[in-house]
């Protein structure tokens, strides 16, 4: 399908001190104190961060947290938020509901959550190795079932669905707007999967299809779709470097890259000879803040949560950080795509692309204060990077020791 060449915009990082504007921290505090949230994916990286903020930072009236097993959820939070999860549960705000996102009504009686005012669906399987059918079953059909249930909730104000900015990864490099880029009839795609082959991963295709079906089937539902780019570890909350194992793709990439011998070749992005392309990563607590700010302001439609509103950095920037502590991280860029690149770069694919995700719909929040601030004023990026490198090195060494012990 022929698409117009997007206009590439220059993105500059210019931190500014936070200042009061139309919506203040007092506004969103009072908003959430009157809200009843139905939250899925609360044991995941972003979902856990949302739960923490809703329960402890915003004093939300009530939070229904869906989980497959209460016992497993508690064990998961003990692993990922060992010093915070008891305070979350003791807040008196959280009600754990056992359910299953693959079942009708997510395995619960809708009457149990009849007073819900905001639904936040952050449950997903982010594996890039799924087959198309599996990805659709896990990432496309459950949101549609939840939307069906949400349509019967009498007090619903907002239905917030977490997606991914890479749901449009079939587009050429350049500007990607906060809108739907249709590829055909989504109802037909649900059975034919005709366009799946033009996406780098089935995960991205399943999210693309989910967005179109959600908006077409439920036009009267107050839907907000949030598209994060690559989600990284937290700046501050629940604590610095928070991020459950497997939930931070960049660190997983560098860990496996460091322990994988052999080919270190990367394909340079089109028009570049090295990693000058934007490698779009944002902290998990920053994404949580942006999501909740849009919830409080009643945003509808589609928004990106990307580095244009945080700190845009290139792949070269990211590699330099990693190489400061591990010379083995050095790579070779090539412009000839007939040369095989390193298996990990080929698997993740974003390393050789240069999309620029528009964040225009979030510009109004750049000066908001308080626990939901997305301002980077005072954020020491160098110190943050060094802490991440130390954490990464520790994980790499632990893995190497484990491998050595097996030999």
- Both tokens of 120, joined, read 């936040």
- The pLDDT of residue 326 is 63
- Say whether pLDDT at 211 is over 90: yes
| Nearest by Cα to 96 from 63, 55, 121 | 63
CA angle 64, 228, 237 (to 5 degrees): 60
- Say whether pLDDT at 17 is over 70: no
- The pLDDT of residue 304 is 98
For the stretch 159-207, pLDDT in tens is 999 999 999 999 999 999 999 999 989 999 999 999 999 999 999 999 9
108/99 Cα distance (integer angstroms): 6
Over range 135-161, report the average pLDDT: 96
- The pLDDT of residue 220 is 94
- The pLDDT of residue 14 is 40
DSSP per-residue codes, 14-40: --------SS-HHHHHHHHTT-EEEEE
- Say whether pLDDT at 3 is over 70: no
For the stretch 325-368, pLDDT in tens is 665 667 889 999 999 988 878 777 888 899 999 999 999 998 89
For the stretch 266-316, pLDDT in tens is 999 999 999 999 999 999 999 999 999 999 999 999 999 999 999 999 999
CB 141 within 8 A of CB 205: no
Over range 243-247, report the average pLDDT: 72
For the stretch 258-273, pLDDT in tens is 777 667 889 999 999 9
Structural domains of the chain sorted by starting position, each given as residue range(s) with its CATH number in brackets: 28-238+280-309+356-379 (3.40.50.720)
The percentage of the chain sitting over the pLDDT mark of 90, rounded to a whole number, equals: 70
- The pLDDT of residue 331 is 85
The percentage of the chain sitting over the pLDDT mark of 70, rounded to a whole number, equals: 92
- Say whether pLDDT at 149 is over 90: yes
Question: Measured between alpha carbons, how far is residue 214 from residues 112, 180, 202, 206, 323 in Å?
Answer: 23, 12, 18, 12, 43
Question: Measured between alpha carbons, how far is residue 122 from residues 42, 61, 119, 192 in Å?
Answer: 7, 20, 10, 26
- The pLDDT of residue 328 is 66
- Say whether pLDDT at 5 is over 60: no
Rounded to 10 deg, the angle between the 132-139 and 141-150 helix axes is 20
């Amino acid at each position: 399908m022929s698409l117009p060449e997007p206009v590439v915009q220059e993105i500059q990082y210019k931190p500014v001190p936070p200042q009061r504007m139309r919506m203040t921290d007092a506004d969103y505090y009072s908003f959430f104190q009157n809200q009843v949230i139905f939250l899925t994916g609360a044991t995941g990286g972003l979902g856990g961060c949302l739960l923490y903020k809703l329960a402890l930072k915003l004093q939300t009236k009530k939070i229904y947290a869906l989980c497959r097993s209460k016992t497993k959820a508690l064990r998961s939070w003990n692993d990922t938020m060992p010093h915070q999860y008891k305070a979350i549960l003791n807040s008196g705000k959280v009600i754990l509901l056992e359910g299953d996102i693959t079942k009708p009504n997510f395995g619960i009686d809708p009457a149990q959550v009849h007073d819900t005012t905001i639904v936040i669906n952050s449950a997903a399987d982010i594996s890039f190795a799924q087959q198309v059918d599996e990805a659709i079953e896990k990432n496309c059909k459950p949101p549609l079932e939840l939307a069906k249930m949400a349509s019967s909730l009498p007090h619903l104000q907002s239905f917030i669905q977490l997606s991914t900015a890479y749901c449009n990864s079939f587009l050429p490099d350049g500007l990607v707007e906060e809108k739907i880029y249709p590829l055909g009839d989504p109802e037909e795609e649900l059975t034919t999967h005709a366009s799946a082959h033009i996406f780098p991963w089935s995960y991205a295709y399943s999210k693309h299809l989910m967005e179109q079906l959600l908006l077409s089937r439920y036009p009267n539902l107050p839907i907000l779709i949030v598209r994060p780019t690559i989600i990284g570890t937290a700046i501050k909350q629940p604590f610095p470097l928070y991020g459950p194992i497997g939930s931070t793709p960049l660190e997983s990439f560098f860990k496996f890259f460091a322990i994988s011998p052999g080919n270190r070749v990367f394909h340079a992005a089109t028009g570049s000879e090295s990693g000058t392309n934007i490698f779009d990563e944002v902290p998990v607590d920053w994404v949580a803040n942006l999501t909740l700010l849009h919830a409080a302001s009643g945003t509808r439609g589609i928004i990106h949560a990307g580095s244009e509103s945080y700190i845009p950095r290139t792949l070269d920037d990211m590699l330099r950080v990693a190489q400061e502590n591990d010379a083995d991280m050095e790579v070779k860029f090539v412009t000839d795509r007939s040369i095989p690149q390193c298996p990990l770069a080929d698997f993740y694919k974003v390393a050789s692309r240069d999309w620029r995700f528009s964040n225009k719909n979030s510009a109004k929040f750049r000066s908001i204060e308080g626990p939901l601030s997305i301002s980077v004023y005072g954020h020491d990026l160098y110190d943050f990077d060094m802490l991440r490198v130390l954490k990464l090195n520790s994980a790499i060494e632990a893995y190497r020791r484990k491998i050595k012990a097996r030999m």
